[in-house]
Structure 1
């Protein structure tokens, strides 16, 4: 067993440019995939070569219970409506002790979608949640 910290129940802090958007309780879609082109070579009937073409980065979807930090997201979104500007972003996974585990520096972050809570008085009592989806052009740096 390693004595290194690992994420069990993490929080994720997000900042974009000079805008601190707060902590989120869920993070999905942080990843990338290599596009591969298949090439069959003449005389090589037993194999197909796979050639890398480009790396694609998936959108990141962050979620949290509705709180006062929602106003931070809304202020950033309003600036993006007026003048969309791609800015570097930083996503930090915090461990159970709230200390940083991994930091992803993202290139060219833009908002894709924000959705607020659904309000209902029926069924179980659940906290109102918000989600923020962002697109980015890749990872500038990943550090521990």
Structure 2
């Protein structure tokens, strides 16, 4: 397998809101959806029970990174909610160390639901990190690379 396609290489993520980059993140979790089903029994059919789709739910996405100058972009986006909530589209891209795209996901109606800044404690030598959690109303193929 060529080195540039090595699945074990380091991956990082970028987040863009309506085309505006909020920077790079080194962790991304929660890219998931679940289809809820309802069971229906059919009279005279004892072989199985129908599993009918009823609703699709999407989990909250959690992005993490060390503190960077791009933190101010996240703060500006969250602060903009005070003047009215708009739910933009977003794109998350997974990139290799050389910058080539592994995969990308388009998100519909994105909203930041939580931001956690770093703990700035001089007694703790840990890396200052931030966590951004966003919610959305579904995936779109607009994120396809």
Q: What residue in structure 2 maps to residue 53 of structure 1? A: 54
Matches within 5 A, 1:76-91: 76-91=77-92
Q: What TM-score does the superposition give when structure 2 sets the normalisation length?
A: 0.89
Q: Aligned equivalents of 1:49 and 1:4: distance in 2?
A: 46
* 1:78–1:18 distance in 2 versus 1, CA, 3 Å: farther
**Greater fraction strand:** 1
Q: Aligned equivalents of 1:112 and 1:56: distance in 2?
A: 16
* 1:16–1:135 distance in 2 versus 1, CA, 3 Å: same
Q: 3-state DSSP class of the match of 1:86?
A: coil
Q: Aligned equivalents of 1:104 and 1:126: distance in 2?
A: 31
Q: Deviations over 1:54-92 (max 9, x none)?
A: 221111100000111100100111112221100011111
Q: What TM-score does the superposition give when structure 1 sets the normalisation length?
A: 0.89
Quote how far apart the aligned CAs of 1:4 are.
Answer: 7.5
> Which blocks of at least 5 consecutive residues in structure 1 are unaligned?
none
Quote how far apart the aligned CAs of 1:140 are.
Answer: 1.1
Matches within 5 A, 1:37-116: 37-116=38-117
Q: 3-state DSSP class of the match of 1:56?
A: strand
Runs of 4+ more than 4 Å apart: 1-4
Q: What residue in structure 2 maps to residue 136 of structure 1? A: 136
Q: CA RMSD in A?
A: 1.9
Q: Deviations over 1:2-24 (max 9, x none)?
A: 88823642111101114321000
Tell me the number of residue pairs that the alignment of Structure 1 and Structure 2 aligns.
Answer: 143
> Which blocks of at least 5 consecutive residues in structure 2 are unaligned?
none
Q: Is the 8 A contact 1:7 1:94 kept in 2?
A: no
Q: Aligned equivalents of 2:62 and 2:45: distance in 1?
A: 44
Q: What residue in structure 2 maps to residue 117 of structure 1? A: 118
Q: Deviations over 1:30-77 (max 9, x none)?
A: 111111111112222332110111221111100000111100100111
